[in-house]
Amino acid sequence: MYSVREGADYTRPGLWIIACYDHFHPCNDHIMSTTTATVSAGHGLTHWYPATFYVLLPLIGKELGLSYTQIGFLMSAQHIAGAISNLPGGMIVDAIGKKGYLLAASLFWVGVPYALMSMTNSMWMLVVCLMLVGIGNNLWHPAAIPTLAYRYPQRKGLVLSFHGMGGNVGEALAPLAAGTLLAWFSWRTVVVINVVPGLVMAILILVMLGALTTARTQYDDHDVNAGGTTKWNMRQYLRDLSGLLRDRALMLICVSAGFRTLTQTGLLVFLPVYLAYEQGYSPIAVGVCMTVLQVAGLIAAPIAGHMSDKVGRQKVVLSSMLLTGVTIIGMVFAGQSLAFIVFVALVGFFLYAMRPVMQAWAIENTPKRLAGTGVGLQFTILAIGASIAPATFGVIADTWGVYAAFYFLAGTIIAANVLVLLVPHTPGPRATAA
């Protein structure tokens, strides 16, 4: 007979879903704790901001007279800043260890530059604001992902899927909210209004989680990273970082994830522009399509995370990548038919299914004392992929047409699949968790 968690207060707002999860999964090791819920909700806000901006981007592009190539350059600049700042961000997390403070600072830093965009009248001011966003956003993942992964070492895929679901919820609700607000306000007003949720969430993180210094666990005799008793040493850190860069399995996983992110970023930036420019969709209709993409990903994440904990990361990633490439091509062929929305949903399902799985896979190939740095390295490579996608897509679309650019994205996910095949075989996730 199933029972609820002893001592749990399920009367608290938003925690009713935890009771449901406990009822059907009594052996979940408290995986849906307050920390998991709060960090996942905060992750949703880090994705809320860019998801809103993608809906605003066609309006901004028309007002400033931007071509596909210029729009691509804007978003590439943001991800280049992220690529440069990711490893330093991981180092800061490993050195400081006060993850609650860093998570709150990340949310604040990401939100404020979007408000500054309301005062810009040139592409170059937008570039500066977006680069600031790219820097601030890269404190989040090195702090959040190791915290969750090592609190639940036997269920990394599942707990990181909850974290990923937070991002999907943010990306699903933001386009609808932005599209609705645009019915009454200009895009400049919307970016100012948009700052409020992130500031509120940053305060909640500080109140509910505090410093969130990583503690020892029953599975490990050493602290996950700084903030414990181990003294941080720069010389040893650089030697360990060099070892990470020489780890073949980790680097293949990260580069493959970079190709996946290239595909994702190209879709997120240019699918709204394509729908507005080529298909004549209204802002609210664009928002609905982007929400469909994210809702499908929201459904896929826990399924893929749980399956990867059971059957292994590589099998789930390979099948998800293959089906993503097929459905992108199907989306292009569907054109203006109802099938287009169906293919958008399928792309979202398979594309986002593999994200938490690849994060868990990378964590399993990273020493725990370098948890933040390992995530920083992974997201540096992801940011490089993300920075390549918009500019390349824009040039291809302006030169050979937007449909050729979508074929390019299908090719990138196929390239990622080839790299996954080359990853050396390692024991299953349960064997490597402890």
Domains annotated on the chain, with CATH: 29-213+236-433 (1.20.1250.20)
pLDDT of residue 95: 73
pLDDT of residue 232: 58
Q: Are 356 and 304 in contact (CB under 8 A)?
A: yes
Question: Is the four-CA dihedral 60, 65, 66, 67 of positive or negative sign?
Answer: positive
> Which residue carries 């699918």 as its tokens?
271
Whole-model pTM: value is 0.68
pLDDT of residue 253: 92
Of 326, 349, 322, 352, which is closest to residue 420 (Cα–Cα)? 322
| Ranges of residues in the chain whose predicted pLDDT is under 50 | 1-31, 214-229, 428-434
Q: What is the DSSP letter of 247?
A: -
Give the contacts of 308 (CB within 8 A, at least 6 positions apart): 157, 315, 316, 317, 357, 360, 361, 429
Q: Do you know the residue count of the chain? A: 434
Could you tell me the CA-to-CA distances from 207 to 89, 138, 210, 292 in Å, in that order? 23, 22, 6, 33
Q: How far is CA 283 from the centre of its chain?
A: 24
pLDDT of residue 144: 81
Compute the C-alpha angle 24/30/35, nearest 5°: 125
Q: At what angle do helices 156-181 and 34-64 cross, to 10 degrees?
A: 40
Tokens (6 digits) for 85: 């700042």
Give the contacts of 433 (CB within 8 A, at least 6 positions apart): 153, 154, 156, 219, 364
Give the contacts of 234 (CB within 8 A, at least 6 positions apart): none
pLDDT of residue 32: 54
Q: What is the DSSP letter of 118?
A: G
Q: Are 316 and 353 in contact (CB under 8 A)?
A: yes
Q: How is the chain split among helix, strand and coil, in percent rounded to 5?
A: 80, 0, 20
Phi, psi of 275 (to 5 degrees): -65, -35
Residue type, 119: M
* Spatial distance between the Cα atoms of 195 and 410, rounded to a whole number of angstroms: 34
